[in-house]
Structure 1
Amino acid sequence: MKRIATTTIAAAGALVAAASAGHAEPLKIGIIESLSGSQTSTGRLYATAVEYGVDKINEAGGFNGEPVQVTEYDNAGGAPEAADKFRQAVADGVDIIFQGASSAIAGQLTEDVRKHNIRNPGKEVMFINLGGEAMELTGEKCQFYHFRFTTTAPMRVNALVNAMKEAGDLGTKAYAINQNYSWGQDVQAAVEAAAGEGGYEVVDEVLHDVNKIQDFAPFVARIKAAAPDTVFTGNWSNDLLLLMKAAGDAGLDVTFATAFLDQPGNIANAGKTALGHYIANNYDNAASESDAFPQAYKQATGHVPIFVEGHSAFALAQLQQALGTLDLGGGDIDVTKIALALEDTTYETPVGPVTVRKEDHQTIRPVVVSKVVENAKYPADDTDMGFETVKIVPAEEAIYPVQESCDMQRPEE
């Protein structure tokens, strides 16, 4: 009887081992995004793009022998809430987090990731930042497990200045209105820094509270009084929607140079006063010679990519490229190996190649400058207006040197 029992136990152990061998460790992705509150519309677009990209990875066979798993976590538009959701994601075993809406939230998350990884060697988490553009994220806050798959203020502002000057639409007097936190301050600084090259004078500047102002009419009146040719703004979410509405209501006759004018609702809010306004962005459907990506995205999601969706989907495709170079043999997920593989990728987007700069993990990427026109190929907000490409600034021209404040500590390879 003792011999039979031992044999039974051994057989059971073999079955468990076989089951374990047949079930590989899945890669777990967490979207810690603003899915409620004033930033919901933006957060939902980021989430849609990430899920689109994960679906593409899984259609191609997943990773490590299993489908990639994705879970949404609602940070409700706040940094403290994002910190709470990060802890929950870690408890759920998430390997890579994605986030885009708000540099303030990105700043919280990158610090949470850094501290977690110091305390938990071998159980690292990676942060792929899709929209936090504050310079500090690849400056004093730069760290190995943070990757920025979007532009920054100097990249957008310099592209706008160059393209608008070439087109004869820049003028000699500029105004800057921005949100009073790291991103808005970066935009204001970039506008000031580009004045010499652009040949303009900054006639006035405003930094205001973030997503708390309900009426921008007084700000528009101040812009009118300054009589600028161009108004630079890095505003996004409600602050841009309401600024455009106030500008439209007042019939403000200036050219806006923006970072996020393609956010849904802005064109409709501004009305015909939006014609001629500019945007510098990571991607524009009209900039591509092919309709293949917009149509594939529409087939999967029900709409062509808008606002932040295009470049976010490309970030997932670049991650897929990195994963395709790895074979973990069905074992534990090794986030450090994924990060090292991601550093070596070059992804050909429809507007040009994107690479990762190893020194700070800022992506080197093209910047698309567009302006609002009538009878656009891809109309916005159910109007006949949309974006026409003015210039694609190549990646090597758009990028700037690594900031001296970045002191990235790399893992031992």
Structure 2
Amino acid sequence: MANVQAALSRRGFLGAILTFACITRVPASQSAEPLKIAVIESLSGPQASSGMLFLNGIEYGRRKINQAGGFNGRNVELISYDNGGTSSGASSRFQQAVSDGCQLIVMGSSSAIVAQLSEDTRKHNLRNPDRPVMLINVGSGALAMTGERCHFHNFRMFPIASMSVAALTRVMRDEGTLGSKVFAINQDYSWGQEFEAGVKAQSAKGDFELVGAVLHDVNRIQDFAPYASRIKASGADTVMTGNWSNDLLLLMKACADASLNVRFATCFLDQPGNIGNAGLAAEGHYVATLSNCELNPEFAEDFKSEMGDYPVYNATGATVGMGFLAAALASLPAGEKVDVNAIGKAMETTQIMADNGLQSMRAEDHQFITPLVVSRVGRGAKYPVDGTDMGFLPVARVPADQLIYPLQSSCLMKRPA
């Protein structure tokens, strides 16, 4: 496992995947307990496509770990559970996963479901300190998860809204495309509210004038023309939004139909279908993500060969999270039992140099400290999307130390002995 750790530390999981096949594997110990990962995701209903992307990224990461020799000489196992898109469904699947012997729970979609699974994890571990489980959140940026809801067995491998806003502001300002006036429009729930707060914080620093801010119902608005009219009247140069799914697509189309000459600064523009449906309305817009395929073509091609498509959107985030977990696992000595607390402590001290830069974990609240990549939609991308001639052109990497937010005083983490 030392050779695996060296490869991960040197180039990161995404850069080291082709090295794994050359590493001598640890002989399997049939008496060793296997590491079991439960993926509790929305695999049916309106959010199934999003959940499947998370599942694909996690499965890819599992395969890479196993190709490197697995954990404790045994292949890592993965069991997927459909939460039905509800917190109650997720809670029920959590109990099933524990009964099935899963030690790690990985998921990403829905802040409400992450909060439920985090609480289920906390309560289970209080009742069963000798059989703890750990939650690895690869897609929810709700601030409370590293605040009042933080606990040792809850890790977030995803940026919060203010980190994305800071990255977008910095890169667009340096490119000269931000303009002096910004309009913020977001979905009215925790993520959208926190994204708006991030925009207001950047405005307070003098980066731009905030000329409007609005929150709207989630995935209920069919006609964004009235919002486009408000944006036009404000004189905004840039629209900053944490919107996703139809709320982003319909907003962009409404602004294009109104002939608005504005740029969009987003987090979820790379969701499959957005560019194909928006067409030229998406050209020139920006997105902040954990990575970009153009930064690591070897990884992109390997992912496609394993999973059938290039990694985008939730699949990218899930793969990044699994890469960090792989590095933590590689640092641990072989043993007969899966020690969840030891895995958690290893994640707290893991550092890897990935394709987007140095990644680490803040031990005090388990926030993933990671650079972000800001890309612009345009022609000539190496990996065009949605059957168009456009893709995501990487513009800049923003280092983690320019994005990380202060530790929240509400996080009072207690560590296992």
- Same fold judged by TM-score > 0.5? yes
**Residue of structure 1 aligned with 2:299, choices 284, 293, 317:** 293
In structure 2, the residue corresponding to 1:66 is in which secondary structure? Answer: coil
Kindly indicate whether the alpha-carbon contact (under 8 Å) linking 2:133 and 2:153 is maintained by their aligned counterparts in 1: yes
- Give the structure 2 partner of residue 353 of structure 1: 358
- Give the structure 2 partner of residue 63 of structure 1: 71
**Residue of structure 1 aligned with 2:91, choices 83, 89, 95:** 83
Runs of 4+ in 1 over 6 A off after TM superposition: none
Q: CA deviation at 1:328?
A: 4.9
**Residue of structure 2 aligned with 1:30, choices 30, 38, 42:** 38
Sort the Cα spacing of 1:199 and 1:342 in 2 relative to 1 into closer, same or farther, 3 A.
Answer: closer
Moved more, 47-56 or 335-344: 335-344
Is 2:310 aligned against 1:307?
Answer: no
Kindly indicate whether the alpha-carbon contact (under 8 Å) linking 2:253 and 2:281 is maintained by their aligned counterparts in 1: no
Q: CA deviation at 1:173?
A: 1.7
Kindly indicate whether the alpha-carbon contact (under 8 Å) linking 1:145 and 1:339 is maintained by their aligned counterparts in 2: yes
**Residue of structure 2 aligned with 1:369, choices 354, 370, 374:** 374
Aligned partner letter, 2:70: G
Deviation string 1:246-305 (CA, Å, 9 cap, x unpaired) is 33444432111101111111112221121111111111112x1x4111111111112221
In structure 1, the residue corresponding to 2:204 is in which secondary structure? Answer: helix
**Residue of structure 2 aligned with 1:336, choices 331, 334, 341:** 341
Sort the Cα spacing of 1:87 and 1:221 in 2 relative to 1 into closer, same or farther, 3 A.
Answer: farther
Cα distance between partner residues in 2 of 1:92 and 1:40 = 23
Is 2:412 aligned against 1:407?
Answer: yes
- Give the structure 1 partner of residue 10 of structure 2: none
Structure 2: where are the runs of 5+ without partners? 1-28
Q: CA deviation at 1:47?
A: 0.4
- Give the structure 1 partner of residue 82 of structure 2: 74
Deviation string 1:29-54 (CA, Å, 9 cap, x unpaired) is 01111112222221111100000011
Cα distance between partner residues in 1 of 2:209 and 2:302 = 44
Moved more, 127-136 or 166-175: 166-175
Aligned partner letter, 2:359: V
In the alignment of these two chains, the number of paired residues is 389
Aligned partner letter, 1:292: E
- Give the structure 1 partner of residue 324 of structure 2: 318
Aligned partner letter, 2:87: A
- Give the structure 1 partner of residue 275 of structure 2: 267
Aligned partner letter, 2:136: I
Is 2:262 aligned against 1:254?
Answer: yes
Cα distance between partner residues in 1 of 2:192 and 2:115 = 14
In structure 2, the residue corresponding to 1:194 is in which secondary structure? Answer: helix
Cα distance between partner residues in 2 of 1:119 and 1:224 = 56
Sort the Cα spacing of 1:81 and 1:252 in 2 relative to 1 into closer, same or farther, 3 A.
Answer: farther
Sort the Cα spacing of 1:215 and 1:35 in 2 relative to 1 into closer, same or farther, 3 A.
Answer: farther
Aligned-residue identity in percent:
52
Structure 1: where are the runs of 5+ without partners? 1-20
Higher relative contact order (CA 8 A, sep 6+): 2
Moved more, 59-68 or 172-181: 59-68
Cα distance between partner residues in 2 of 1:106 and 1:204 = 31
Deviation string 1:156-215 (CA, Å, 9 cap, x unpaired) is 001111111111111222111111111111000000010033532222222122223333
Is 2:47 aligned against 1:39?
Answer: yes
- Give the structure 2 partner of residue 383 of structure 1: 388
Instruction: Quote the RMSD (CA, aligned, Å).
Output: 1.7
Q: CA deviation at 1:377?
A: 1.6
Cα distance between partner residues in 2 of 1:354 and 1:348 = 6
Q: CA deviation at 1:393?
A: 0.6
**Residue of structure 2 aligned with 1:205, choices 213, 221, 233:** 213
Aligned partner letter, 1:318: F
- Give the structure 2 partner of residue 221 of structure 1: 229
Cα distance between partner residues in 2 of 1:40 and 1:217 = 28
Cα distance between partner residues in 2 of 1:112 and 1:212 = 30
Sort the Cα spacing of 1:102 and 1:198 in 2 relative to 1 into closer, same or farther, 3 A.
Answer: farther
Kindly indicate whether the alpha-carbon contact (under 8 Å) linking 1:369 and 1:392 is maintained by their aligned counterparts in 2: yes
Once the two structures are superposed, the pairs formed by residues 230-245 of structure 1 within 5 Å of their partners are 230-245=238-253
Once the two structures are superposed, the pairs formed by residues 116-135 of structure 1 within 5 Å of their partners are 116-135=124-143
Deviation string 1:361-381 (CA, Å, 9 cap, x unpaired) is 111100111111122221121
In structure 1, the residue corresponding to 2:205 is in which secondary structure? Answer: helix
Kindly indicate whether the alpha-carbon contact (under 8 Å) linking 2:290 and 2:320 is maintained by their aligned counterparts in 1: no
Cα distance between partner residues in 2 of 1:113 and 1:205 = 36
Aligned partner letter, 1:397: Q
Cα distance between partner residues in 2 of 1:366 and 1:292 = 20
